[in-house]
Amino acid sequence: MLKRPLIIDCDPGIDDAECLMMVQGSGLFDIRGITAVHGNVPLSHTANNALFLSKLFDMNCPVYLGAEEAMIQRLTRAEYVHGNNGMIDFDTTLPEGATFAEGHAWDFIWEEAVRQNGELEILAVGPLTNLAIAVMKHPELPKLVKNLVIMGGAIRSGNFGVYSEYNIAQDPHACEIVLQAGFPRFTMIDLNACSMAYISSDECEKLRALPETNAFTPLINAILDHREVSKKILMEKGLNFIADEHHHTCDPVAAAVLIDDSVGQFVDKYAFCDCVGEMTTGQTVIDWLGFAPIKNVRIPVAIDRDKFAKIYFDCVKTYDKGGC
């Protein structure tokens, strides 16, 4: 089987970790590289975590350093959810000899797009700063990207501001650049879509029962242990829809859509990102009524929860060195 060339742009982050697990575990992708960006925690941690996870999941790909800050503004990070090191203080000590690739993330994105001659796919599950810089340096980049899937945006209420989702709010100007760049196939997995997909409480117990031979076992147990802490924080912020007894995890929803597009039902719409509103900066505004002459994103209106969970568990099983 010919594998699909892919770059993963991320800010690990515990849900980024699950996302990387799924992409690698699916066996569908030739992961050309991981590009780290600021986001959940500073780049010094997200980059270390990306490199650590690439080794944990045997991804055998380079990891590039990306943007340390947003293009214009600087906001608070999310250590309160992801822990001081971004991985709920899980031990992310790098193995001996693990090093970052030379060069900038945005240059690698462009060079790889050229190298793949229109076949490259990109999964972006953090702030879009790296991708925006690549677009600004190389406006022709979108024509060379076959498929772009992001986790970001909110078509209803937000989780960082009243209307803004965290990844987008961290760099709304970058989001607007990417939205208007002209990517021919651009799927935006927003908070509403993420609320439809989860790992049930019963399935969480199955994760806890994974054998010790599974490389994912220590990390997922740490994530599930932390779930009670993060659930309390989310409920205090009024985010009850992702603070129930189930395990809601956003970036894996984007991974599932990338792996099997049939997990969702989509509509094509025009979207832009508000960068100036006093209450709405970071809001992804959707033209639901169709006034705009173009459509630039695909938005999920439904996610098959059971199919999502099956994709997740099928990927988890591939890490059991003892066989499942």
The CATH number linked to 297 is 3.90.245.10
Alpha carbon distance 319, 213 (integer Å): 8
Q: How many residues are present in the chain?
A: 324
| Measured distance CA(28)–CA(42) in Å, rounded | 30
Helix and strand totals (H; E) in the chain: 12, 10
Residue keyed to tokens 């250590």: 79
The answer to whether residues 58 and 51 touch, using CB atoms and an 8 Å cutoff, is no
Q: Are 193 and 229 in contact (CB under 8 A)?
A: no
Instruction: Give the Å distances, CA to CA, from 203 to 132, 221, 322.
Output: 37, 13, 21
Q: What does the pLDDT read at residue 1? A: 74
Query: At 82, is the secondary structure helix, strand, or coil?
Result: helix
Closest residue by Cα to residue 34 from 23, 44, 26: 23
Q: At what angle do helices 14-26 and 251-259 cross, to 10 degrees?
A: 20
Q: What gap in Å lies between CA 13 and CA 77, rounded to an integer?
A: 11
In a domain, 90, yes or no: yes
Residue for token pair 């742009």: 9
Nearest to 169 by CA among 68, 36, 45, 275: 275
Band of the pLDDT at 232, cuts 50, 70, 90? low
In a domain, 25, yes or no: yes
Kindly report which listed range (18-27, 75-84, 87-96) carries the lowest average pLDDT score.
Answer: 75-84
8 Å CB contact between 199 and 306: no
Report yes or no on 323 lying in a domain: no
Task: Please indicate, yes or no, if residue 322 is contained in any of the structural domains.
Answer: no
Whole-number percent of the chain with pLDDT over 70:
94
The pLDDT, as a whole number, for residue 274 is 96
Q: Where are the extended beta strands (E) located within 15-173?
A: 29-36, 63-65, 120-124, 145-151
Poorest-pLDDT segment among 25-29, 163-167, 264-268: 163-167
Please choose, from the candidates 27, 29, 225, 227, the residue with its C-alpha nearest in 3D space to the C-alpha of residue 119: 29
Q: Is residue 281 situated within a structural domain? A: yes
pLDDT at 175: 98
This prediction's pTM: 0.94
Residue 324 domain-assigned (yes or no): no
pLDDT score, position 324: 38
Indicate if the pLDDT at residue 243 is higher than 60: no
Residue 253 belongs to some domain of the structure: yes
Across 136-161, average pLDDT: 95
* Residue 122, CA distances (Å) to 99, 148, 187 in order: 22, 5, 11
**pLDDT tens across 267-312, in order?**
999 999 999 988 899 999 999 999 999 999 999 999 999 999 999 9
Phi and psi for 100 in degrees, rounded to 5?
A: -80, 150
Is residue 103 in a domain? yes
DSSP letters spanning 176-206: HHHHTS--SSEEEE-HHHHHH--B-HHHHHH
pLDDT value, residue 53: 98
State how many domains the chain has: 1
Distance in angstroms (rounded) separating the CA atoms of residues 92 and 76: 23
Q: Which of 76, 271, 252 is nearest to 188 (CA)?
A: 271
How far apart are the C-alpha atoms of 126 and 39, rounded to whole Å?
6
Which domain, by its residues, includes 234? 4-317
